[in-house]
């Protein structure tokens, strides 16, 4: 048995240690370990409830809009607020811009170097290995040019957030009850101009590049698969969510019930084992705990480890999403010569991100046209003496939950379960490995396993800043 520890794994956010044990060319056992405790949940206790939206954004600089949105939905719930249509549209436009940024970032700057020859990118950006490279020279050169173009697109997506959200990272607009700012006609035009350019890049460059990758690495639709998928859905409007909520358990659709979420910590550095419902969770750090190997906890849905993220959203969308989404997803799956069951795989995750980026960019163009520059963007609020709430919404990397308890008009408890908490979770009290551990275990490898492990882990786009609170 050959034991390899990748610590830290590069081209992801934060400090993730992945340890694999390889025997006869197969990964027999894998362990994911989050190495940095954060403590943001504790910081919130005793503060004004409105601080939640500002402080939880600081969990992460990559997906702050996800936390801004989840915290605002959580406070909407606790304060009994429904934002007006204009506020809902503006929230979705600001958050959508951050979503598009995340997917372009992941494909070009975090994942693609795993497939490009080392000469294609300037020294510091190069993956430093030439194992299993399958592109022709001209293709590599073109992809490297797209790598640079993608930097420009990311800047424009950040500008979209700043146009309606005040700044990026950490927007100033999304608040309980709606948003604080009604854009001017000039700002709407500036938003439309940039969005059109980004949508054109997604359709004309990003999608064709994913399809090229999928053609050359078609075997990666079999690599890194997980059986159970979960999404909370995202981009809420009165008529429903652009991407609906639900779970897929071994191919079957399961309606979403938030009461089925539990978080355990049997193998995490916290006292006790759980599992507990997140709205009542008590878990104090305990570095001396026997058998623990991660700061990440183990959230489970109906007692099961679930993959969250673009593959889950696409798989659920194919079953209960809008006809427009289903038709786009089916077309692109057909073009990639892949089945819906292959979405939960290294290549399926890349393809699912592309599908939803395109679908979202088109939806954002519609939402922008629907904005009314004279209608209200928020409703008023009053902080209740006692209340509780939850904000469940998908972040780019998957299901994100915020839970609050307000007592005496201040925060008595705040709980966050982020997408990477689900995906990179350690074994639970029943010994069930987390989704990334599952995706790694059983993989046939060519060398010491680091090439396959890197591609599998990165396909989940882990973010450790979010995973541990
Ligand atoms: Ni820090 Fe995040 C997303 C959230 S991942 S990037 O997407 O929430 O755990």
pLDDT tens for 264-289 read: 999 999 999 989 999 998 889 999 99
The domain spans of the chain are 2-468
What CA–CA distance (Å, rounded) separates 300 from 351? Answer: 26
Q: Is 378 helix (H, G, I), strand (E, B) or coil?
A: strand
Phi, psi of 11 (to 5 degrees): 55, 40
Burial class of residue 25, CB neighbours in 10 A (0-12, 13-18, 19+) = exposed
Residue 298 has pLDDT above 80, yes or no: yes
Query: Residue 277's closest CA among 266, 258, 261, 265?
Result: 261
CA atoms of 318 and 110, how far apart (whole Å): 27
Half-sphere exposure for 306 (CA within 13 Å, toward CB): 36
Mean pLDDT for 35-48 is 94
Count of other CB atoms within 10 angstroms of residue 64: 23
The pLDDT assigned to 406 comes to: 98
Residue 359: pLDDT over 90: yes
Superfamily of domain 2-468, CATH level 4: Cytochrome-c3 Hydrogenase, chain B (1.10.645.10)
Is any atom of ligand 1 closer than 6 Å to the C-beta of 308? Answer: no
Ligand 1 atom with the smallest distance to the CA of 467 is 9
Return d(Cα 296, Cα 424) in angstroms, integer: 7
Q: Calculate how far, in angstroms, residue 422's C-alpha sits from the geometric centre of ligand 1.
A: 11
How many A from CA of 373 to the centre of ligand 1?
31
State whether the beta carbon of 333 lies less than 6 angstroms from ligand 1. no
pLDDT (0 to 100) of residue 125: 81
Provide the 8-state DSSP code for 434.
P
Question: For 411-449, what is each residue's pLDDT tens digit?
Answer: 999 999 999 999 999 999 999 999 999 999 999 999 999
Round to whole Å and give the CA distance between 50 and 411: 9
pLDDT band at 129 (very low <50, low <70, confident <90, very high): confident
Q: Is the CB of 419 under 6 A from ligand 1?
A: yes
Instruction: Tell me the C-alpha distance between 392 and 236, whole Å.
Output: 10
- Determine if ligand 1 sits within 6 Å of the CB of residue 101: no
* pLDDT score recorded for residue 128: 73
Confidence of residue 402 (pLDDT cuts 50, 70, 90): very high
pTM of the model: 0.97
Q: Helix and strand tally (H, E) in the chain?
A: 14, 16
Give the E-state strand segments of 190-273 in sequence order: 228-231, 234-237, 240-243, 246-249, 252-254, 261-264
Ligand 1 lined by 13 (C-beta under 6 Å): yes
193 pLDDT more than 90: yes
pLDDT for 407 = 98
Q: Is the CB of 465 under 6 A from ligand 1?
A: yes
Q: Please report where in the chains the tokens 């439309």 appear, as a residue.
A: 192
* 130, 117 Cβ separation under 8 angstroms: yes
The predicted model gives 446-464 an average pLDDT of 97
Q: How confident is the model at residue 124 (pLDDT cuts 50, 70, 90)?
A: confident
- pLDDT of 127 over the 80 cut: no
Mean pLDDT of the chain: 97
pLDDT the model gives residue 282:
87
The percentage of residues in the chain with a pLDDT greater than 90, rounded to a whole number, is 95
65-75 per-position pLDDT tens digit: 999 999 999 99
Peptide bond into 55 cis (omega under 30): no
């Amino acid at each position: 048995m050959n034991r390899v520890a990748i610590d830290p794994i590069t081209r992801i956010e934060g400090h993730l240690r992945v340890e694999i044990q390889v025997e006869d060319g197969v990964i027999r056992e894998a362990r994911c370990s989050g190495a940095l405790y954060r403590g943001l949940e504790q910081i919130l206790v005793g503060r004004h409830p409105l601080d939640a939206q500002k402080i939880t954004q600081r969990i992460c600089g990559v997906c702050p809009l996800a936390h801004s949105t989840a915290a605002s939905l959580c406070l909407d719930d606790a304060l009994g607020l429904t934002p007006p249509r204009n506020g809902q549209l503006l929230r979705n436009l600001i958050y959508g811009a951050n979503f598009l940024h995340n997917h372009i970032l992941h494909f070009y700057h975090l994942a693609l170097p795993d497939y490009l020859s080392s000469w294609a990118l300037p020294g510091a950006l190069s993956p430093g290995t030439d194992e299993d490279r399958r592109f022709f020279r001209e293709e590599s050169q073109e992809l490297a040019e797209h790598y640079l173009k993608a930097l420009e697109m990311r800047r424009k997506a950040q500008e979209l957030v700043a146009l309606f959200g005040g700044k990026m990272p950490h927007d100033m607009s999304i608040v309980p009850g709606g948003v604080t700012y009604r854009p001017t006609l000039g700002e709407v035009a500036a938003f439309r101009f940039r969005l059109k350019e980004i949508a054109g890049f997604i359709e004309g460059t990003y999608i064709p590049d994913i399809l090229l990758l999928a053609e050359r690495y078609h075997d990666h639709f079999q690599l890194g698969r997980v059986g159970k998928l979960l999404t909370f859905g995202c981009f809420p409007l009165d008529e429903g969510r652009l991407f609906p909520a639900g779970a897929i358990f071994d191919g079957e659709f399961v309606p979403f019930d938030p009461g089925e979420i539990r978080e355990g910590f049997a193998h995490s550095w916290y006292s006790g084992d759980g599992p507990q419902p997140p709205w009542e969770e008590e878990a104090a750090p305990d570095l001396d705990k026997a058998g623990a190997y991660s700061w990440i906890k183990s959230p489970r849905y109906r007692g099961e480890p679930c993959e969250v993220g673009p593959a889950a959203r696409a798989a659920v969308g194919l079953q209960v999403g809008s006809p427009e989404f289903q038709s786009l997803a089916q077309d692109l799956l057909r073009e990639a010569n892949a089945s819906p069951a292959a979405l939960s795989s290294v290549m399926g995750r890349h393809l699912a991100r592309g599908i939803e980026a395109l679908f979202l960019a088109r939806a954002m163009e519609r939402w922008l046209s629907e904005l009314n520059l004279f209608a209200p963007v928020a409703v008023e609020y009053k902080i209740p003496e006692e209340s509780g709430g939850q904000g469940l919404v998908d972040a780019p990397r998957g299901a994100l939950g915020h839970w609050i308890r307000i007592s005496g008009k201040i925060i008595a408890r705040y709980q966050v379960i982020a997408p990477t908490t689900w995906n990179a979770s350690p074994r639970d009290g029943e010994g069930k490995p987390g989704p990334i551990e599952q995706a790694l275990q059983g993989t046939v490898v060519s060398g010491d396993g680091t090439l396959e492990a890197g591609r599998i882990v990165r396909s989940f786009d882990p973010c450790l800043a979010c995973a541990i609170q």
